[in-house]
Amino acid sequence: MSEVLAGRRGIFAKELFAPELPVREAIVRAAERGFNGLYLGSPTSISPELDRKELEEAGQFAKRAGIVPGISAGMLNPYQPGRSAEALEAGGGDLALGLLRLIEAARWVGQPEVMLVVGTEYDRFNRSLEWSEQLSAVAYLLRRIQRDVRSIGSRILIKTHQEITSWEVARLLDQLDSTVFAAAFDPVNLIVRMESPLAAARRLAGRIGQVHVDDAQLLWSGSGLARALCPAGSGCIPWPELIGLIRRSDPGAWYWGELHQAELVMPFLSPGWFGDHPDISLAEIVSWLAVAQPLVPAPPSLIGVKDERVTGLLAFLAAS
Amino acid sequence: MRIGVDGKYLPGGHNLSPVEKLEYAHSLGLEGVFFRTILHISPNLDRAEIQAVQRKAQELGMYLEAGLGRVNPYTNPETPELRAIGSGDVLLGFRRMMEAAAEAGIRELWVSTGGAKPYKGMFATDRFRTDVTWEEQLEATERLLLKLKPLAIDLGLHLNMETHEEITSYEIVRLIEAVGADVMGVVFDTANVMIRGEHPVLAARRLAPYVRQTHIKDAYLELTDGGVYQRAMPCKGEGAIDFCEVLKELNRYNPELTLSFEAQVPHGGRTPGEPMVIEVYDPQWIQGHPDLTREDLAAYYELARNYSERIRSGQAKGWRALNAERFEEEEAVQAVIASRRYLDGLCRELGIQREQAPSHV
């Protein structure tokens, strides 16, 4: 494992450090722990004004410390602009411009790849607005900015977040310049959409820019299954096979340990549930059920029990 | 509805003649006997023999049902008596059986696409045969049924396809649509449908317009590695099937339906092994069920999960505990009696009419 991930192993800062910890100190501590990267989130967490000099200096500091900074451009659903406050502010009200500014800021920090999240489960199940409509709007916006992103020399990684399936991400990527867009592969979210992580990795093979490392169990919730987050390696994500697959299809992908927070449910016995997931086959749903533990009672929430999960994540990602 | 028993597995009845079986079943409080095939009533279709059975049924006010046999040409040869009764001519054999049944006023005749095979896993039925596809077998079955159709019309018979272990409710509906509900119906086996991953209530709903005979039995279900354990159980309310809901569905279309228990075979001094596993997680199994929807499978999974939870919490016995229990002829007979009481209670609870009408004459 360690040789596979060598040089491309990072962790989200929020897992290790209090948010008040200055960025430079967090970077030093991450390096001390043997990580190659530290996910900082928005460029505004490094420089609230997106000051170029500040960002470049921080980037150089990280480089000297041997730490690659991970950057996110936030959420992008043109129908939910309230979630893209930072981009809107950076763009003076223009979402597309703001995204480009954040991406540029990431470039100054030395990070050419920027993660983007489409939305939340609320969007997928929004009864006032078709999910497909929202995805079209996302595609439209991304197509509009792709030339500029390319000229900046950057890439956008669309995250397989809780609301979106690997098919939907693949279809988005199909409509976009493949030199500019790829995926941030997060299997702990894909199981919320009932997917088999291995099958999803095959669907996005060749387009995986980074992988998010966490784990969860699938427990019974009364009308279906619930995602119960657990220490990495102790859940249903087939990490050894998954890494084996992705190292062949996407050898340059980075691996970021990230502890997810949302306790999500998959009430598949609810009428219409499967209709809301048109792409997934019976065969894949069955393979999803096969890794569930529907007789184990749901434990008390592990979200608050951070230490155990952090320890698990560190142990999982650490060199042998 | 009337409550009776399948004649092939009548506990304590194996050495009895058909007339004696009727008397014996009657003594157990049962209201009819469903002889699997008319050849069980009389191996040579002797009219005097058949009439004696018919008279006994009438005398006791019991329903009398029978059957023909396998109408799948790929499995028919496994029961050579069907060719023998036609002196080598299979179609003639069916004709002779149908005429004999009609003469005795038996209008509901069981048919099936096959029998259980002595192999585990995929080859426990004919569905996953490698020499001929299941689709091909269904096509051949349809062709044979269409050949039998004119005769069935003439004689006023219904050939009722059992929801046997190898066939799905979707496939049966398609067969009926192709052959005609005027001559074809269903023998609804309440537990067999789960072998094909179907929830009994959903299957009952789908088949209810066509159900004319039944095999009533409950089942043990348990989630396990590789799939779901299943084993037949007496219909006493201790298994996974919600008979209330099943009866409601059936009653909607056929309030005069006969409910015939398919009893469990005594252990014969041996301890049963592990229950059969329905390999629902196997991609090949899934591929072999193209009609099964995600909703179907979800309902079935919930059923298995809920019963597994009952086992875990001690509300239901696990299969090892069940194996350890004595189940010989005495217990098998008691199970039938208890089943009758249980089903009778359910019918009354649901307001399902329980008539004491005489048999089909």
Residue B357 pLDDT? 45
* Contact yes or no for B212/B161 (Cβ under 8 A): no
A286 touches chain B (CB under 8 A): yes
**What is the percentage of chain B residues whose pLDDT exceeds 70?**
98
Identify all chain B residues contacting A286, using CB atoms and an 8 Å cutoff: 280-281, 286, 297
> Which residues, numbered 210 to 239 in chain A, qualify as contacts with chain B under a Cβ-Cβ cut-off of 8 Å?
220, 224
Number of Cβ pairs closer than 8 Å across A and B? 41
Report pLDDT digits (tens) over A253-276.
999 999 999 989 999 999 999 999
Query: Which residue among A224, A269, A286 sits closest to B280, beta carbon to beta carbon?
Result: A286
* d(C-alpha A42, C-alpha A88), whole Å: 13
Report pLDDT digits (tens) over A113-158.
999 999 999 999 999 999 999 999 999 999 999 999 999 999 999 9
Residue A276 pLDDT? 96
Average pLDDT of chain B is 96
SS3 of A33, please? Answer: coil
> Taking residues B181-203, what's their average pLDDT?
98
Token code pair at residue B356? 């004491």
Of B177, B165, B249, B241, nearest to B206 by C-alpha is: B249
Identify all chain B residues contacting A290, using CB atoms and an 8 Å cutoff: 281
* d(C-alpha A235, C-alpha A253), whole Å: 22
In the predicted model, is pLDDT for residue B216 greater than 60? yes
Q: At what angle do helices B200-207 and B243-253 cross, to 10 degrees?
A: 0
Residue B356 pLDDT? 63
Interface of B with A (CB under 8 A): 223, 280-281, 283, 286-287, 292-295, 297-299, 301-302, 305, 308-309, 312
Distance set, CA A281 to CA A82, A104, A307, B64 (Å):
34, 40, 37, 46
Residue A306 pLDDT? 74
Give the predicted TM-score (pTM) of the model.
Answer: 0.94
* d(C-alpha B76, C-alpha B80), whole Å: 7
| A265 strand-pairing partners | A226
Of B215, B207, B181, B191, nearest to B35 by C-alpha is: B215
Identify all chain B residues contacting A199, using CB atoms and an 8 Å cutoff: none
In the predicted model, is pLDDT for residue B228 greater than 70? yes
Report pLDDT digits (tens) over A185-210.
999 999 999 999 999 999 999 999 99
Identify all chain B residues contacting A226, using CB atoms and an 8 Å cutoff: none
Contacts of B340 by beta carbon, 8 Å cutoff, 6+ apart? B3, B28, B29, B30, B261
* Contact yes or no for A155/A226 (Cβ under 8 A): no
Average pLDDT of chain A is 93
In the predicted model, is pLDDT for residue B173 greater than 90? yes
Report pLDDT digits (tens) over A2-57.
556 778 999 999 988 888 899 999 999 999 999 999 999 999 999 999 999 999 99
Q: B interface mutation test: which of A288, A295, A296 has the most B CBs within 10 A?
A: A295
Side-chain-facing half-sphere of B233: CA atoms under 13 Å: 22
Contact B294 A282 (CB under 8 A): yes
Contact B223 A294 (CB under 8 A): yes
Contacts of B72 by beta carbon, 8 Å cutoff, 6+ apart? B112, B113, B114, B126, B137, B140, B141, B144
Residue A273 DSSP class: T
A290 touches chain B (CB under 8 A): yes
The CATH number that domain B2-220+234-274+327-350 falls under is 3.20.20.150
Q: In angstroms, how far apart are the furthest CA atoms of chain B? A: 58
* Contact yes or no for A133/A123 (Cβ under 8 A): no
Of A211, A144, A196, A193, nearest to A8 by C-alpha is: A211
* Contact yes or no for B281/A289 (Cβ under 8 A): yes
* Contact yes or no for A134/A77 (Cβ under 8 A): yes
Identify all chain B residues contacting A220, using CB atoms and an 8 Å cutoff: 305, 309
Report pLDDT digits (tens) over A60-117.
999 999 999 999 999 999 999 999 999 999 999 999 999 999 999 999 999 999 999 9
* d(C-alpha B274, C-alpha B252), whole Å: 37
Report pLDDT digits (tens) over B40-93.
999 999 999 999 999 999 999 999 999 999 999 999 999 999 999 999 999 999
* Contact yes or no for B218/B197 (Cβ under 8 A): no
Query: Which residue among B283, B295, B308 sits closest to A295, beta carbon to beta carbon?
Result: B308
* d(C-alpha A192, C-alpha A212), whole Å: 15
> Taking residues A214-243, what's their average pLDDT?
94
Contact B295 A274 (CB under 8 A): yes
Residue B359 pLDDT? 42
User: Phi and psi of B308, rounded to 5°?
Assistant: -60, -40
Residue A299 pLDDT? 64
Residue B125 pLDDT? 96
> What are the structural domain ranges in chain B?
2-220+234-274+327-350
Token code pair at residue B225? 């590695």
A131 touches chain B (CB under 8 A): no
* Contact yes or no for B217/B232 (Cβ under 8 A): yes
